[in-house]
Chain A
Amino acid sequence: SAVISQKPSRDICQRGTSLTIQCQVDSQVTMMFWYRQQPGQSLTLIATANQGSEATYESGFVIDKFPISRPNLTFSTLTVSNMSPEDSSIYLCSHSGGRGTEAFFGQGTRLTVV
């Protein structure tokens, strides 16, 4: 299993600004995933990021708001753009060992927008 390092672990941001979250995996993985966990709620998938292609977004999430980069097989970034207080959440990156295997998660980024 590959270990995921995610940063920053937390941030407080002004509305209207953008924050980029980074995830580094210690080995090559094909697919990475970005989730949002709103206060007191479950994890919701934002998008799937494959290296060499554009990210695939889930319903309700758009590239202009959550642009994602995947420049190589060990790294990905998620940007939360033009933030509002409603974007205050925990954001997590993840990868899977393959079909039927467990998913591995970064420690998460706790974002507060004021």
Chain B
Amino acid sequence: GNSVTQMEGPVTLSEEAFLTINCTYTATGYPSLFWYVQYPGEGLQLLLKATKADDKGSNKGFEATYRKETTSFHLEKGSVQVSDSAVYFCALEAGGYQKVTFGTGTKLQVIP
């Protein structure tokens, strides 16, 4: 079956530090890959996505590249801000069934 393995948190960084959150996946066929973010007290929302190999998704300074050879979709940001403090979920959708499989989530805390 499909699965997503995500770096465990919590991750604590100082403002302007570089962020990497690792994500690898197992899936049948060619999945679409997503990063979702859950800010404190808010609902889950899409951060970025990639639908085929070598695609790069980007949004709000965050980037992730779909690496088929390593089955990875690592999230990066060059300079984090306090407002980036949230829980980040790596996810995939495969097989055309529209069901989403989530990783365990990584809590990021950015301190001034």
Contact = CB atoms under 8 A, between A and B. Distances in A.
A92 to B, nearest CB: 7
Nearest to A99: B96
Nearest to B1: A59
Interface string A29-50: 0010100000001111100100
Q: How many of chain B's residues touch chain A, expressed as a range?
A: 20 to 34
A43 B32 contact: no
Given A99-B98, A100-B51, A42 B104 contact: yes
B98 A102 contact: no
B89 A43 contact: yes
Interface of B: 32, 34, 42-46, 49, 51, 89, 93, 96-105
Given A42-B102, A102-B49, 12 more contacts: A33-B98, A41-B104, A41-B105, A42-B104, A43-B89, A44-B102, A45-B99, A45-B100, A92-B44, A96-B98, A100-B51, A102-B46
